[in-house]
Structure 1
Amino acid sequence: MIKKMLIIVCLSMVFIACKNETTSKESTASINDVSAKFNEMLDNYYEESLQLNPLQATFTGDNRFNDQFPNPLAYETVTKVKAHFTKYKEELEKFDEASLSESEQMTKAILKWECDINLEGFNYKSEYFPIDQMWSVNLMMGQLASGASAQPFKTVEDYDNWLNRLDGYIAWMASAGEKMKEGMEAGYVLPKALIVKVLPQLKALTVKNPEEHLFYSPVKNFPDSFSEEDKKQLTEKYTKIVTERIIPAYETLHEFMSTEYLDAGRTTSGIADIPNGKDFYNYQIKLYTTTNMTANEIHELGLSEVARIAEEMEKIKEQVGYKGDLKSFFDDVRNKKELMPFTEPQQVIDNFNAIHDRMKPQIEKLFDKKPKTPFEVRRTEAFREKSASAEYNPGSLDGTRPGIFYTPIPEVTKYNTYSDESLFLHEAIPGHHYQISLTQESEELPKFRKTLWYSGYGEGWALYSESLGKELGLYTDPYQYFGMLGAEMHRAIRLVVDTGLHAKGWTREQAIQYSLDNEAESEAGITSEIERYMANPGQALSYKIGQLKIRELRAKAETALGDVFDIREFHNQVLETGCVPLALLEDKIDNWITASK
């Protein structure tokens, strides 16, 4: 009897095990099915995004749309973009959190943020400001037209693609003028101080001789493989479009902006002075910091950071033996001839490359993952050099086009080197080049996340990277360390002056004076910076907000993990997700700390 019962029990257990195994397989199959559908949706989102923004495709190295330029100011394009984000916000709701992996849950949260923030942006009239001196499409197109940027000029088809793309760009230029006229009637106009900075940029592209024109540049660099007939036909086509369409389009814009638009320009500085400007600024804060911080909170944080960094600067002033006050020390650093040693622009480029060589032996102590994408330092193009800041342009997704650190050198004999080490760490390595290239090279992230940019994370990482100088064998010269403090002070000041301009009624002149009182940048450089903040409210806040969050997360991990803490693994954790809103990064690091204990 016992034996029989044991047999029955055993058979029952086998049946249950088989049933559980079947259920488990069905569950696994179901999860795999959801994952496949989720990833298919992500691929569709990315593909449709590139079709709506073919310039982004070009910059990633996807050349399928190099002949296209859908006018972002056209009603048809705006309608398509709205529908795109609305559609995928609804698609996301079909996927239950419980059926997604941890990585997929983060991806869902990121895509929801992306849809929400873009849809919210349509509540504001940014199309009335299509051109400024720093951020607008015409400056990007000028870079591409040089033939030395992301738009390829290797085949005859490449050359024809650019001509076709110019059709859309010329339509955009006409639309830009129309939108600015509409903006004038509705009370949306740039400050006069910004308009006068745009005018020389436009004027430079009205030069009558086509062979001297920026948009003629590709003709001067035909590949050797081109036949004489190809060269002849392309030369004729480029001469015609530059002479008959590009130059007249720039002349029309310059004429309009230098007369009636300039006359209508605002004398006020902050975005709060346009209709719905206060709400727009709150949106810009959320867009660029990826937080819900208020303008007042950020302003007060800025004031406290300025005070803290000033104390550190006092120590450097004493170390180098300077006897005056801190403000006069700024002037001393600004004008110190020993810090302006160069006579040729190439010497500036060589100096950055030398900084790279000095830090190479230490880099593996902090990073065990390095990008494969090559890297170069280049001088900023002449047509935008006077109003440009140093910047990084990402390489292509496949790594065939290098990441490029552009540095403006408008007057080489006045080029001051005191902040070059921190600048290289920020714009190049391990700043933007590591963060962006490792993201693009990731085999784990879905395609759309490889090209995302959230300024709070991206600029926060780059500013955090500046603080790694001593660990990387730099900042041995007190002036270079002062340069790092100056760069951090510069970003702390941004919290004060950006909110001052756009939420507290500060004038351009007040903001310039506050900066002069608290940092060692030149007055010309500070003026350019303040005008940059005027052109794109909120962007300047992202650096310090992001840096402080990453520092906070590192300190939390060091404290919680003690001897187990590995700086290389912390950097892996921060970098492997690519750009994410800061709250999602904090959740990830918290989970990593818990799992590492």
Structure 2
Amino acid sequence: MRKLVLQTLAAGALLATAPLSPLLAQKATGKGKAAPAKVETTASAATSAPLHALFAAYWEDNARLFPLEATAEGDNRYNDQLPNDQTRAFRQQERQFYQQYLTRVQQLDRRKLSAEDQVSYDVFRYQLEMALEGLQQPFWMMPFGQTGGLPQLLAQYGSGTGAQPFKTTKDYDNWLGRVHGFTAWTDSAIANFRAGMRTGVVLPKVLVVKMIPQLEAMVVADAGKSMFYGPIAKLPEAVPAADRARLTTAYQQAVLTELVPAYQKLATFLKNEYLPKARTTSGYGDLPGGAAAYRYAVKEATTTSKTPDEIYQTGLSEVKRLRTEMERVKNEVGFQGDLPAFFAYMKTDPNFRPYKTPQEVLGGFEAIHQRMAPNLKKLFGRTPKTPFEVRQTEAYRAASASAQYVPGAPDGSRAGIFYVPILDATQYNVTALPPMEDVFLHEAIPGHHYQIMLQYENTALPEFRRFGGSGAFVEGWALYCESLGKELGLYTDPYQYVGSLGGEMHRAIRLVVDVGLHAKGMTREAAIKYMMDNEVITEQLATAEIERYMGNPGQALSYKTGQLKILEWRARYQKQLGSKFDLRAFHDELLAGGALPLDVAERRMDAWAARQRQAPPK
């Protein structure tokens, strides 16, 4: 249920369900340090104790049920386990787990809880109800896709550069335990794909075509050339010499006798059996039960009751507004021609492709960081202590990837990583999607890195909220951060500003094409054309984006929905508070609450504004 860690959060995230939910309002001070907890009255502590005990029990059970996620969150007790989540028995276990805790929390009297415990209660109940509703959908018959799932995730864990630790002999043996479970998972995933084939719940052909070479890239004859051999290539000194030969042999055998056959089996199945049965249509609306599944996906992604049609109309309105502003900037720079010609100029003029090597591209992002660093303290009172890095996306998945953020370790021992796919550095366009300044604000600082790591570092929070997150808040915050560019000293020339408008336009377009694909019969080709007609984007990137929405319906709606709500709050409180409004305090309070469902976050922020109104002038 707590999908925040395992999904990449991004201008282009991996496939999976959208992130779920959030955090307690215990503020942090300084560089991400938790503030002292409030002293509760005896009565308050007595009423809180059963709720907190329930949260603690839930988190323990959740770690056992989802050990990969536990690892990503720094809980290493289950690092040797890879449960087969593709079985009917596992889905039934999930259902019983969620229902058990929903029944128990409903037995508590919400009215007797403190205000902050009421927030936790609301979020906990919301997550459980959404998880149970999700299990009623047909998603299980499409176990993974071209932009994510266990085959891709396992490679990230096993490469030696991801969440799975490789520091001691026990760490190395733990990973072998996980590998042993992948063969059974593969067989069950194929069985689920076949169930979908029998009922018509299948992926589009254009996505399956992308999945096959990804799997085939993991098939090697020489174990030393497998990315899963990476940990052996970098055996640390902490591993005794006596264990090195044994582990080397064990990893060679694991690659050649377990991992390679499993990936080969998946690739062969998809190519020979599944691809001929895959569908030629683009959206969920064409699947049995697909309309209801899409309505659920929209509800989960936006944490609102908005209908697909309402979201579609918002998208059309935002596209129109942004096109008007782009026209204004185009005229300001004196470009002769219409907006599509202006886009074509920005895509093709060599001045917008200044790089020759991937390192130069990565250096360009660091330069952006340094330009805005002096202004960050004007907008934020708290920043994370967790380090931050920019890395090039691994070659095996770069062709289907977008820029993305992978959270660091909660204790700061592993940096948060901003991954940048660079297929050809000489063609990396600084203003086309993703525009560099824009994507750094979103994926890195102060977007995902600030929001997620401040949340992770706040140990005063119940774990289910500390490591959870509403997608509409997480992505809404990151998109809101793109609008802070001028306040942070970026967007100083009109072309960079157009790039930022393009970044926002991209998210507005998502409202149109995601709903269009899944609820209005829009084809893949029409969606790609609509995207290219309205923003600075290459056909390759537009295709990757549209195919992402085809495989992960609804998730792309979270960005604009959340951003518009945060902008609404900022404007409302500025008007209400006047001279008492402090932008740093607004940002700090918003992040202190964690990635709440939007209606819960709104109630919490309204209460904050009320306190500000009552506070004496400074």
TM-score (norm 2): 0.91
Q: Measure the CA separation in 2 of the matches of 1:145 and 1:306.
A: 42
Q: Which residue of 2 aligns with 1:436?
A: 452
2:569 is aligned with 1:569: no
2:352 is aligned with 1:336: no
2:540 is aligned with 1:527: no
- What per-residue deviation string (whole Å, max 9, x for no partner) do you get for residues 132-174 of structure 1? 1112121111111211011011111111100101122222122
2:464 aligned to which of 426, 430, 448: 448
Which residue identity lines up with residue 57 of structure 1 in the other structure? Answer: A
- What per-residue deviation string (whole Å, max 9, x for no partner) do you get for residues 196-217 of structure 1? 0101101101122111111111
Q: Which residue of 1 aligns with 2:126?
A: 113
Q: Measure the CA separation in 1 of the matches of 2:246 and 2:593.
A: 47
Give the 5 Å matches for 1:170-185: 170-185=183-198
Give the 5 Å matches for 1:93-492: 93-418=106-431, 419-492=435-508
- What per-residue deviation string (whole Å, max 9, x for no partner) do you get for residues 263-313 of structure 1? 011000000111110000000000110001001000010000000001111
Tell which deviates more after alignment, 199-208 or 440-449. 440-449
Q: Measure the CA separation in 1 of the matches of 2:195 and 2:166.
A: 37
CA contact (8 A) 1:188 1:275 kept: yes
CA contact (8 A) 1:92 1:108 kept: yes
- What per-residue deviation string (whole Å, max 9, x for no partner) do you get for residues 438-492 of structure 1? 1111143211101102110000000000000000011102221111100000000
Q: Measure the CA separation in 1 of the matches of 2:469 and 2:489.
A: 30
Q: Measure the CA separation in 2 of the matches of 1:172 and 1:494.
A: 33
CA contact (8 A) 2:138 2:289 kept: no
CA contact (8 A) 2:179 2:258 kept: no
Which structure's CA Rg is the greater one? 1
Q: Measure the CA separation in 2 of the matches of 1:33 and 1:79.
A: 34
Deviation at 1:227, TM superposition (A): 3.2
Which residue identity lines up with residue 270 of structure 2 in the other structure? Answer: M
CA contact (8 A) 2:70 2:76 kept: yes
Deviation at 1:235, TM superposition (A): 0.8
Q: Measure the CA separation in 1 of the matches of 2:422 and 2:184.
A: 33
Per the alignment, in what secondary structure is the counterpart of residue 65 of structure 1? coil
Tell which deviates more after alignment, 551-560 or 441-450. 441-450
Per the alignment, in what secondary structure is the counterpart of residue 280 of structure 2? coil
Per the alignment, in what secondary structure is the counterpart of residue 144 of structure 2? coil
TM-score (norm 1): 0.94
CA contact (8 A) 1:501 1:507 kept: yes
Give the 5 Å matches for 1:29-108: 29-108=42-121
Tell which deviates more after alignment, 62-71 or 101-110. 62-71
Which residue identity lines up with residue 442 of structure 1 in the other structure? Answer: N
Deviation at 1:260, TM superposition (A): 1.6
Per the alignment, in what secondary structure is the counterpart of residue 486 of structure 1? helix
Give the 5 Å matches for 1:533-548: 533-548=549-564
Which residue identity lines up with residue 167 of structure 2 in the other structure? Answer: K
- Aligned CA-pair RMSD: 1.1
Q: Measure the CA separation in 2 of the matches of 1:120 and 1:127.
A: 13
Tell which deviates more after alignment, 217-226 or 182-191. 217-226
Tell which deviates more after alignment, 476-485 or 294-303. 476-485
Rate the CA distance shift 1:385–1:70 in 2: closer, same or farther, 3 A. Answer: same
Q: Which residue of 2 aligns with 1:590?
A: 606
Which residue identity lines up with residue 484 of structure 1 in the other structure? Answer: S
1:559 aligned to which of 570, 575, 578: 575
Per the alignment, in what secondary structure is the counterpart of residue 337 of structure 2? coil
Which residue identity lines up with residue 112 of structure 2 in the other structure? Answer: S
Deviation at 1:71, TM superposition (A): 1.2
Which residue identity lines up with residue 309 of structure 2 in the other structure? Answer: N
Which residue identity lines up with residue 215 of structure 2 in the other structure? Answer: L
Q: Measure the CA separation in 2 of the matches of 1:28 and 1:520.
A: 57
Per the alignment, in what secondary structure is the counterpart of residue 95 of structure 1? coil
Per the alignment, in what secondary structure is the counterpart of residue 194 of structure 1? helix
Q: Measure the CA separation in 2 of the matches of 1:57 and 1:29.
A: 33
Which residue identity lines up with residue 490 of structure 2 in the other structure? Answer: L
2:529 aligned to which of 493, 499, 513: 513
CA contact (8 A) 1:313 1:485 kept: yes
CA contact (8 A) 2:182 2:262 kept: no
Q: Measure the CA separation in 1 of the matches of 2:56 and 2:282.
A: 42
Which residue identity lines up with residue 439 of structure 1 in the other structure? Answer: Q
CA contact (8 A) 1:143 1:381 kept: no
CA contact (8 A) 2:180 2:258 kept: no
Q: Which residue of 2 aligns with 1:10?
A: none
Which residue identity lines up with residue 188 of structure 2 in the other structure? Answer: S
Q: Which residue of 2 aligns with 1:19?
A: none
Q: Which residue of 1 aligns with 2:29?
A: none
Q: Measure the CA separation in 2 of the matches of 1:207 and 1:330.
A: 42
Per the alignment, in what secondary structure is the counterpart of residue 55 of structure 1? helix
Per the alignment, in what secondary structure is the counterpart of residue 391 of structure 2? strand
Which residue identity lines up with residue 464 of structure 2 in the other structure? Answer: F
Deviation at 1:514, TM superposition (A): 0.5
CA contact (8 A) 1:34 1:99 kept: yes
Give the 5 Å matches for 1:490-501: 490-501=506-517
Q: Measure the CA separation in 1 of the matches of 2:287 and 2:180.
A: 32
Q: Measure the CA separation in 2 of the matches of 1:69 and 1:489.
A: 40
Which residue identity lines up with residue 246 of structure 2 in the other structure? Answer: Q
CA contact (8 A) 2:155 2:228 kept: yes
Which residue identity lines up with residue 556 of structure 1 in the other structure? Answer: R
Q: Displaced runs of 4+ in structure 1, greater than 2 A?
A: 27-31, 224-229
- What per-residue deviation string (whole Å, max 9, x for no partner) do you get for residues 570-595 of structure 1? 11121111111101111111112222
CA contact (8 A) 1:445 1:577 kept: no
Tell which deviates more after alignment, 321-330 or 421-430. 321-330
Deviation at 1:336, TM superposition (A): 1.8
CA contact (8 A) 2:186 2:262 kept: yes
Q: Which residue of 1 aligns with 2:25?
A: none
Name structure 2 gaps, 5 residues minimum: 1-39, 614-618
Deviation at 1:224, TM superposition (A): 2.5
CA contact (8 A) 2:380 2:584 kept: yes
- What per-residue deviation string (whole Å, max 9, x for no partner) do you get for residues 170-190 of structure 1? 221221111101110011110
Rate the CA distance shift 1:423–1:28 in 2: closer, same or farther, 3 A. Answer: closer
CA contact (8 A) 2:204 2:282 kept: yes
CA contact (8 A) 1:192 1:266 kept: yes
Tell which deviates more after alignment, 311-320 or 373-382. 311-320
Per the alignment, in what secondary structure is the counterpart of residue 218 of structure 2? helix
Q: Measure the CA separation in 2 of the matches of 1:246 and 1:440.
A: 32
Q: Measure the CA separation in 1 of the matches of 2:345 and 2:557.
A: 28
Q: Measure the CA separation in 1 of the matches of 2:516 and 2:48.
A: 47
Deviation at 1:28, TM superposition (A): 4.8
